[in-house]
């Protein structure tokens, strides 16, 4: 019975890895995903995506800090620190299903890339005005995913 449960888990993990790989190949401009052949390759690609998203977020945060009125700065900093704590906690939780497995790092970094893209989408309209009135201004478009 345990062998059957273990083989089902392995099959499920392989299916998830294939789905992540297939989705990344079709939706990511990162050529890494198209060339990935191993779990280590997939993890490296997820890390590249997360690193790129985090770098774009840092640039966006810099632009927002320059644009903020001084009285809004402390709350902005607290909100961003809380978001960062949430993002890491959420992604570690997301990866916990694969605890100890070779997919765990990929799942965590893939989650971090996705949640960071969501944060960018939430924040970039504030470059267009306060409150964000025109979320499609030139300043916001500069932070769209490449």
Q: Is residue 64 part of a domain?
A: yes
Q: Is residue 26 part of a domain?
A: no
pTM score of the predicted model? 0.78
Number of H helices, E strands in the chain: 6, 0
Question: Which residues 6+ apart lie within 8 Å of 54 measured at CB?
Answer: 112, 116
Q: Is residue 31 part of a domain?
A: no
Please choose, from the candidates 131, 138, 142, the residue with its C-alpha nearest in 3D space to the C-alpha of residue 72: 131
pLDDT in tens, 10-50: 444 444 444 444 444 445 678 999 989 999 999 999 999 99
Q: Is residue 118 part of a domain?
A: yes
Domain total of the chain = 1
C-alpha to C-alpha distances, 126 to 2, 81, 88, nearest whole angstrom: 53, 18, 24
Q: Is residue 4 part of a domain?
A: no
- The boundaries of the domain holding residue 83 are 38-141
Q: Is residue 121 part of a domain?
A: yes
pLDDT in tens, 97-145: 999 999 999 999 999 999 999 999 999 999 988 776 666 788 888 998 8
Q: Is residue 106 part of a domain?
A: yes
CATH of the domain at 64: 1.20.1270
């Amino acid at each position: 019975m345990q062998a059957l449960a273990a083989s089902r888990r392995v099959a499920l993990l392989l299916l998830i890895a294939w789905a992540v790989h297939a989705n990344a190949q079709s939706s990511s401009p990162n050529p890494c995903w198209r060339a990935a052949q191993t779990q280590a390759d997939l993890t490296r690609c997820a890390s590249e995506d997360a690193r790129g998203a985090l770098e774009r977020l840092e640039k966006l945060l810099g632009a927002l800090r320059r644009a903020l009125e001084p009285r809004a700065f402390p709350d902005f900093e607290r909100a961003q620190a809380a978001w960062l704590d949430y993002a890491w906690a959420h992604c570690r939780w997301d990866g916990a299903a694969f605890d100890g497995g070779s997919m765990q790092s990929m799942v965590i970094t893939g989650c971090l890339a996705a949640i960071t893209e969501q944060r960018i989408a939430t924040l970039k309209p504030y470059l267009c005005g306060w409150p964000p009135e025109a979320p499609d201004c030139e300043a916001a478009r500069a932070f769209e995913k490449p």
